[in-house]
Each structure stands twice: as C-alpha cells, then as structure tokens.
A and B are shown apart, each in its own frame.
Chain A
Amino acid sequence: MTDEMTPQSPEQTGGAAADVEMSQYVAGRSRVNEDKIRQDDEIISQFGEYEYGWHDSDAAGEAAKKGIDENVVRAISADKGEPEWMLDIRLKGYQAFLDKPMPDWGVDLSGFNADDFKYYVKPIDKQAATWEDLPDDIRNTYDRLGIPEAEKKRLVSGVAAQYESEVIYNSIQQELKDQGVIFVDTDTAVREYPDLVRKYFGTVVPPDDNKFGALNTAAWSGGSFIYVPKGVHVDIPLQAYFRINTPNMGQFERTLIIADEGSYVHYVEGCTAPIYSTDSLHAAIVEIIVEKHARVRYTTVQNWSNNVYNLVTQRAYVREGGTMEWVDGNIGSKATMKYPACILAEPYAKAETMSLGFAGKGQYQDTGAKMIHLAPHTSSTIVAKSISRGGGRSAYRGLVKIVKGAEGSSNSTVCDALLVDDYSRSDTYPHVDVREDDVSMAHEATVSKVSEDQLFYLMSRGLNEDEAMGMIVRGFVEPISRELPMEYALELNRLVELQMEGSVG
C-alpha cells in the first residue's frame, strides 16, 4: 500500500501570478479528484457503504483504556506536561461533567455511555516536522484525504492535520510567520504561548457551560490555536483536517481563535471518520474572540460516519464593529447537536450563520444557531437548510435573544427544509427572546418536497431521474456551497450526491 502512495513535500512556488497559479490548481485539482474518486471506489468496494471507511493498523489505540475518571484527566495533563492552571481547568470541567444532567431534549442520547469511549490516544511519540517524518499508515490516510496536494499547491496557507489526539503534522507558510500570525495545535500553544492561552481559554465557553463542553474541557487534546495580530489580513483560508481512527475513540479537539483588532482570518475545518460497528464520540469546542472591527469566518464541512455522536460547542464573542461568520455543513454522523453561537457584546457587532444539515437513514441532525444581542445596533442573520431522506430526521433549533437596551438591533432567520421522500422528517424549534422594543425581527421557515413537477421538468429536458434529483438537491444546497472555498464546495456536492444515492426508485 505504501508503494502506491508517494508522499509529497510542501513546495514553495514563489511569486507566480496568483490567477495563473489558481488555474493550474484548478486543472490539477480536477485530476486529483478523478484519482481520488477512483481510489475511493476501490475503498468502497472493500469496506461497503462508507466512502472513507478504511482504517489503518491501530497499535496505539489498542493500548488506551476506556472510560474517564479524575485519574485519566490527571494522566492526560501530566503526559502533556501541562502547567498547574490547565490541570485546574480540566478538573473543573470534569466536575461539571459529573454534575450536569444529560440533555433531555434534541437527539436521543439514551444509548450514550461515557464509559464506552477512549479519552486519550497518542499515536506517535513526538510531533512530526515534515510530511516524510510521519509513519507510513498515517501518511497514507492523509494522502487519501488529499492533504499533501492541497499543501503543495499552497492553496491553504497552513495545514494542521489532526490524527487522533495529537496534532502530528503542522506546517505554516513563511509569510504568515512574518505577519506574526500564530497557527499551531492547541497543545503546542499551551507550551509556547501560555500567557495568550491562559488569557482566553475557557472565556467564551466556560468549563461548566454544558455537559459535553465540560467533558471536552476535562479531556481535550489537539485542535487549532490561531492568533491574528492587529490589522493583519490572512488572505487564504487556514485549514485543518481531522480524522478519527481508533474504534471508540473520543475526539475532543479544542480550537481557540483570537482575531485582534481589525484583522481577518478564514479557518476551514473538514472532517471524515472511518466506519466502525461501535459508536464513536466527537465532542469539540471552538472558541473564537473577534476583537474590534475584526472579521472571522469559520467553515466546517463534516462527513462523519453514521455511528458517530457529534456533540459540538462553537461560540464566538464579538466586540464592537466585529463580524463573525459560521458556515457549517453537517453530513453524516449518528446524531449531531450543534448550534454555532455568537455573542454580540458591543455595538455594531455583526454575525451570520449559514448551515446545512443532511439527515439520511438512521440519522438525526439537530442543528441551528444562537444569536445573543447584548449591545445596541447589533445585527445577525441565520440561514439554516436541511435535507432529510430515507427516514432521516433533521431539526432546526435556534435561539435569538435581544436584551433590554440593545436598541436598533436586528435579526433575520430563514429556515428551509427539503424532504426527499414521504417518510423523512423535519422540525423547526425557533426560540425568540426579545426584551427591547426598537428592534427588527424576521423569521421565515419553509418545508418543501422535491416535487413530481420539478423532476418531470428536468427529465423532459433529457436528465434521468437520478440526475434530476441530484440537480434539485444541489440547487437547494447552492446558497451554502457558494460560500465555501472551491475544493470544499466540490467535496460538499460530492458528499451530498453520495448521500442521495439510491434515493430514487
């Protein structure tokens, strides 16, 4: 297997014209995709239903034990050589996890048992500095996901690829360093930038925020840490690719992004997980601080296999004139609970959430957004789209809160649900709490079915039924996919098509 996969090292392309580079990238990328599709087809034929369902040899994972207690938390912290203050935060999180009841709303968590999961697995002893340093099987995994190509072509300015609990590969372009941008895994950040981490860690999502946030705080490992200095615009998206490889492996990455005054950064997160017969857990926390007049966009395209509990807390704190944008594509998983939140803390802060949930057979996507308006003239927009098929269930659950004194604030919420067949389900649970008179609120919700007339129209123009269905669904997704970087838009379309396979008949 290793012979087939030629590792590619990052390549500096220098000052070539950006558009030429882009067109070369596009040309190269389409070839890569074809190769990838072929590889994936082989993999599918080996592993059945799930596209990324291979897994590598698993020496490290076998050794880790299941379940969590105070000793496990202390061991994680000690193993990482963390300072006392971080251990204290972890222990606070662990206590909160014990104290908090299971959520009795949203997805069905009755089958969830915290002792079924492994909380810490260390795949290799030290962090790899270059691609070639990685063990073969891990490198193969990333090669299949297409990371080296992306890195080589410099479309992404830094790649942090997370493999199980450790970020094992991390590179950053020279110009970012020159700009003073910090982009490291969060473990490294604790060691190298302790003051910054200590100042912000847990300030947006406190240790006792919610049960699974608390679990993350106790057991977190990896994730990305980004600091963008005042006035710095990071022109190309930073991206990380996360993978869960060990069966029953809890994935608790912890991402912390600080965009200082007037800065801009776009962070892209993509996830694929292999399939296993027993359930896996993903409980991440993303904390973002948007300082005055800064802008952050956080894009997620997730494709978990359908045995993963995906319980994620994402929250941004937005100061005066700042802008936060969440773009969120949730495909796959057994059950997802995810409500990207923005706290609009100071005047003229703005926020937007654009999300897509795709619930297939046996899946429940409970997603939405929270917008908390604490200051005057703050504005927020929520666009939530969902697709349900094969008996899948999707729900929009949203909170819009405007406190007394936040005059001149506005929110607009649009929820569109698409049902592909007669036995899938979509629900909308909007919660609106407005304590100020001088505000503007708009809420619009639609549920539509792929209609016989739409299918007939496209078929009468020569498209067969599958293609017609695919075109309708892609059209429905388009308002989200156009917000994504091109490679992710292609990936999202492909994932949606994969999910749609066999829907006609």
Chain B
Amino acid sequence: MSTLEIKDLYASVETKDGRKQILKGVNLTVNSGETHAIMGPNGSGKSTLAYTLAGHPKYEVESGQVLLDGEDLLTMTPDERAKAGLFLAMQYPVEVPGVSMTNFLRTAKTEIDGQAPAIRTWTKELTEAMKRLKMDPKFATRSVNEGFSGGEKKRAEVLQLELLKPKFAVLDETDSGLDVDALRIVSEGVNRARENTGLGILMVTHYTRILKYIKPDIVHVFADGHFVKTGGPELADELEESGYDQFLPEGADSESALA
C-alpha cells in the first residue's frame, strides 16, 4: 500500500512574457488501487501538474511538497522519481532516432528494477504485452516513437506502463488522438496494469469518453491552477452536461479555453 501526496504545490514556467505561475496551491492524496480523473479546460494547468510531478526541467517548483510514501519527489531528478515508482505516460512521447524499442525498454526495465531482467522471461513478457496491445512484432525493432502514429505512440506508453510496473502512473491526455478501437485497446492495457499491480492512477483528461473504459473512483475538476471541485464518478456526467464554464474565472471565454 503506497500513498502519493501533493501538498500545496506552486509551480511556474518561463514564457516569452516573463515567468508565469501555473500551479497555484495543488492538494491531492492518491492511494494504491485508486483511480483519480483530473478534468479541466485547456490551459488550466493539468499537463503542467503532470510534468511537474515527473520533474521536467521547464517547470520550476516555487513551494509545496510531493511525497511518495513520505519521500519528497521534488528533491529528486526525473530518473530517481521513476525509480521511486512514478510513471508519466506522455501526451506527446518524444522520438529517439536510432534507439530500438527493445533496447530502450530493456534498459529502462534494468534501471527501474536495479537489475537486468532474465532474458528468457523478459522476452516472453514483452512479446505477450505487445500482443495484448495489438502491436506488430516489428514494432520492437523500430526506433523509439520515430514515425509512430498517434495511436502507436499511446500504445507504446501503455506498454511501458505495463512492463515497468510503477506504484503510481500519471496519464496525460492518453485518450487524445485515439479512435474508438485504439481507445479501447489502450484502456484495456491501463485496466490490466491496475488489476495486476494495484497501482494508483492520476488520469488527466479533457473529455469524458475515456472514463467509460477506465472507471475512476474519484473525479476532480482542475481550473486556474488548482482543484476546484471533487466528487464521485457522477461528477464526470455533470461536466458532460454543463461543461467547464462554471469553473472559469469571470470574463474568461469558454470557447478559447476549449480551443
């Protein structure tokens, strides 16, 4: 049983108009086995929260804590956070030309586990995980994310989630750019990981449709850099009806926020 606690987190980013505060006092506790949906309009800071948790150098933490079983992730480098048990499935996974998926996955697994996986069981595990995600075996020999379609990139992220077995996973807009079939396959992968490892999930999303496949225990509304409302799964249905307008600051244009 593990716990991820975000305490009063403030973070900012350098823009061409100067430093801009994006996260404005985020508080959240996630336990193993729980799935939290984080919903909100575009530009509310959802993705910033995801990247700040994983330690992207672009985002500067101003104050607050992120504790994984009591250890402060914010003092750690991104690789140390990964080893501590945090995984970020990215909205836009990065291409690494010339590095094969197999080499990348085995290296990552070795680093996360602290030892190289036994070659025979690893190959079997990889092959089966790829098969379940309906990935072509040739995929393993391709360069990391290079020339992947949007759907392939998301599958590759979920493949890593299944293989690396983190304690907590942040899924950043994993549903974006997927057609119905791909969304189902990717969601099944996340559900498998949840069942097999009992990990805690923070699912960042703009739309409610992924919640039909991955059932959240708790739904949060994120707006203007912090959580503004928390409820059960029914909150998602409410948002489906009424949109995010009610959570936007006075005078904000919901059209531009959703654009």
Query: A21 at interface (Cβ–Cβ under 8 A)?
Result: no
Majority SS at the chain B contact face: mixed
Contact B111 A461 (CB under 8 A): yes
The smallest C-beta distance from A37 to any residue of chain B, in angstroms, reads 18
Query: B55 at interface (Cβ–Cβ under 8 A)?
Result: yes
Contact A465 B96 (CB under 8 A): no
CB-contact partner of A453 in B94, B107, B143, under 8 A? B94
Bound complex: CA of A459 vs CA of B88, how far in Å? 11
Contact B104 A459 (CB under 8 A): no
Contact A476 B79 (CB under 8 A): no
Closest Cβ neighbor of A480 among chain B residues? B98
Contact A471 B107 (CB under 8 A): yes
Neighbouring B residues of A502 by C-beta, 8 Å: none
The smallest C-beta distance from B81 to any residue of chain A, in angstroms, reads 7
Contact A461 B96 (CB under 8 A): no
Tally the A-B contacts, defined by beta carbons under 8 Å. 82
Q: A460-B82, A461-B164, A463-B107 are in contact. Are A476 and B98 (CB under 8 A)?
A: yes
Closest Cβ neighbor of B56 among chain A residues? A456
Bound complex: CA of A461 vs CA of B90, how far in Å? 11
CB-contact partner of B79 in A460, A472, A478, A479, under 8 A? A460
Majority SS at the chain A contact face: helix
Contact B96 A460 (CB under 8 A): no
Query: B93 at interface (Cβ–Cβ under 8 A)?
Result: yes
Closest Cβ neighbor of B105 among chain A residues? A461
Contact B77 A464 (CB under 8 A): yes
Bound complex: CA of A457 vs CA of B88, how far in Å? 9
Contact A464 B96 (CB under 8 A): no
Contact A459 B97 (CB under 8 A): no
Contact B77 A459 (CB under 8 A): yes
Neighbouring B residues of A463 by C-beta, 8 Å: 79, 107-108, 111
Contact B57 A452 (CB under 8 A): yes
Bound complex: CA of A457 vs CA of B95, how far in Å? 9
Bound complex: CA of A453 vs CA of B51, how far in Å? 11
> Would you give the 0/1 interface string for B68-86, flagging 1 where the beta carbon is closer than 8 Å to chain A?
0000000001110111000
Query: A421 at interface (Cβ–Cβ under 8 A)?
Result: no
Bound complex: CA of A456 vs CA of B83, how far in Å? 14
Q: A452-B58, A464-B77 are in contact. Are A459 and B96 (CB under 8 A)?
A: no
Q: A452-B57, A461-B164 are in contact. Are A471 and B79 (CB under 8 A)?
A: no
Bound complex: CA of A454 vs CA of B104, how far in Å? 13
Neighbouring B residues of A15 by C-beta, 8 Å: none
CB-contact partner of B96 in A452, A462, A472, A479, under 8 A? A472
Q: How large is the interface on A (under 10, 10 to 19, 20 to 34, 35 or more residues)?
A: 20 to 34
Query: B112 at interface (Cβ–Cβ under 8 A)?
Result: yes
- The residues in A between 463 and 505 inclusive whose CB is less than 8 angstroms from any CB of B are 463-465, 467-468, 471-472, 474-479
Query: B28 at interface (Cβ–Cβ under 8 A)?
Result: no
Contact B93 A476 (CB under 8 A): no
Closest Cβ neighbor of B87 among chain A residues? A460
Query: B160 at interface (Cβ–Cβ under 8 A)?
Result: yes
Query: A458 at interface (Cβ–Cβ under 8 A)?
Result: yes
The smallest C-beta distance from A454 to any residue of chain B, in angstroms, reads 5
Bound complex: CA of A479 vs CA of B96, how far in Å? 13
Query: B54 at interface (Cβ–Cβ under 8 A)?
Result: yes
The smallest C-beta distance from B83 to any residue of chain A, in angstroms, reads 6
Bound complex: CA of A448 vs CA of B13, how far in Å? 24
Bound complex: CA of A451 vs CA of B54, how far in Å? 17
- The residues in A between 413 and 460 inclusive whose CB is less than 8 angstroms from any CB of B are 451-454, 456-460
Neighbouring A residues of B143 by C-beta, 8 Å: 475
Bound complex: CA of A30 vs CA of B206, how far in Å? 51
The smallest C-beta distance from B164 to any residue of chain A, in angstroms, reads 7
Query: B258 at interface (Cβ–Cβ under 8 A)?
Result: no
Contact B79 A459 (CB under 8 A): yes
Contact B93 A467 (CB under 8 A): no
Q: A454-B94, A471-B107 are in contact. Are A461 and B82 (CB under 8 A)?
A: yes
Q: A452-B58, A461-B111 are in contact. Are A474 and B98 (CB under 8 A)?
A: yes
Query: B257 at interface (Cβ–Cβ under 8 A)?
Result: no
Contact B77 A479 (CB under 8 A): no
Closest Cβ neighbor of A457 among chain B residues? B94
Closest Cβ neighbor of B95 among chain A residues? A454
Contact B98 A477 (CB under 8 A): yes
Contact A462 B108 (CB under 8 A): yes
The smallest C-beta distance from A233 to any residue of chain B, in angstroms, reads 29
Neighbouring B residues of A462 by C-beta, 8 Å: 79, 82-83, 108, 111-112, 164
Neighbouring A residues of B180 by C-beta, 8 Å: none
Contact A456 B96 (CB under 8 A): no
The smallest C-beta distance from A356 to any residue of chain B, in angstroms, reads 12
Q: A460-B88, A462-B108 are in contact. Are A474 and B99 (CB under 8 A)?
A: yes
Neighbouring A residues of B94 by C-beta, 8 Å: 451, 453-454, 456-457
27 contacts between A and B (CB under 8 A): A452-B57, A453-B94, A454-B94, A454-B95, A456-B57, A456-B78, A456-B94, A457-B90, A457-B93, A457-B94, A458-B96, A460-B54, A460-B88, A461-B82, A461-B104, A461-B112, A462-B82, A462-B83, A463-B79, A463-B107, A463-B111, A465-B79, A471-B104, A475-B143, A476-B98, A478-B98, A479-B98
Q: Which residues of B contact A (CB under 8 A)?
A: 54-58, 77-79, 81-83, 87-88, 90, 93-99, 104, 107-108, 111-112, 143-144, 160, 164
Q: Which residues of A contact B (CB under 8 A)?
A: 451-454, 456-465, 467-468, 471-472, 474-479
Can you name 13 extra interface pairs (CB under 8 A) apart from A457-B96, A459-B77, A462-B83?
A: A452-B58, A454-B95, A456-B54, A456-B57, A456-B94, A460-B81, A461-B79, A461-B160, A461-B164, A464-B79, A465-B77, A467-B111, A478-B99
- Give 10 nearest A-B pairs by CB, closest first: A475-B98, A462-B111, A478-B98, A475-B99, A459-B78, A461-B108, A457-B94, A462-B82, A462-B112, A459-B79
